[in-house]
Every structure is written in structure tokens, then in C-alpha cells.
Amino acid sequence: MAATPASPGQLQREREQVTLLLDINRELLQETLRLQEQGKGGMMGNQPAPGQDGNKEGDAPKQVASKEYIDCMRRLQANLSWLATFADRNTNPNKQVPPGPAIMTVPAAPQALSEMYTKLQALFPGWKGQLLKPGGAPGQGSPPRPGMPQQQQQSPQAPSQG
């Protein structure tokens, strides 16, 4: 048999969490489309360097993706990862679901996302997200450890160790 049945209150909270994350993802996708239209999508990841993708050396170099665009993509990745793990618990009840999405900080813009992330923080009380190395993606930083003081868990970046 599967895991212990959830209480009606827990089921309601989980439904609210999933619904809000789906709404946030819709808004993030719209924002990434806006950024692409503004030419801020740029090149991400392991795309070939100019000259290696069939372009001649004289072609204009590819623009690197803007910080806003990369931030949107990281948030989408973190949210989708949590949603997938959450959904998998029905088929694999022994799989541990993280306490929440890896990125919980409220973005500076757009306003709609800021409001949604404020609500998200209320739906995941006490969860501040995973610590990230500067410029890192979720999962590249150290996840908070249960015995770690709350103050360290909510710091925006991991302290450098040398």
C-alpha cells in the first residue's frame, strides 16, 4: 500500500502549492517570451561558438542571454523539478520530495511574479530554497542541512571557503 493518507488540510495545501506553481510557470514562460522578443534571450548553455555552427568568421557573434532571461529559466527549471518529484511520489512513495522549489526568493520584476512568489513563500512556511553559489543553478549549491541554523539557510549565497 502507498504512504499514509494525507489529511484534508494537507491535500488542500498541496493543491494550492501545485496550482500556484503552475500559475508562476505560466507567468515565467510569458516573461521569457517577452525577453526573447526584446533580444535578451541570447545564447545559453552548450551551443556552438561562432564559426563552429557553419557560420563564417565574419558573421556577428551570438549574444549571451541576459541575467533576467537566465533567472527566468532557472526558476522554471527549479519549479518543474519540484513538480516532477512531487508527482513521482504517487508511483514511488519512498522517493523523498524536497520541502519546496529550489528558488523561493521574490524576483524584482515583473510585479505579477513578485506577488506570486510572496504567496508561494506563505505556502511553504520555513522553506527558503536551496543555497546557490553565485551564478549557479539550483542543485549546484549545497542543499540546506537539517541541523543548519535558519539564518544560514536563508542567506542568498553560500559563504566562500577559501
Q: What is the pTM of this model?
A: 0.69
Count of domains for the chain: 1
Range of the domain at 101: 8-127
Burial of 123 from C-beta contacts in 10 A (0-12 / 13-18 / 19+): middle
Is pLDDT at 115 greater than 50 in this prediction?
yes
pLDDT, tens digit, 9 for 90 and up, residues 52-107: 554 455 555 568 899 999 999 999 999 999 999 999 988 888 888 899 999 999 99
Residue 35 within a domain: yes
Terminal Cα-to-Cα distance of the chain (whole angstroms): 49
Select from 162, 158, 148, 67 the least CA-distant residue to 108. Answer: 67
Residue 150 within a domain: no
Residue 61 within a domain: yes
- E strand or H helix at 77, and its extent? helix 67-88
Q: What is the 3-state secondary structure (H, E, C) of 117-136?
A: HHHHHHHCCCCCECCECCCC
Residue 151 within a domain: no
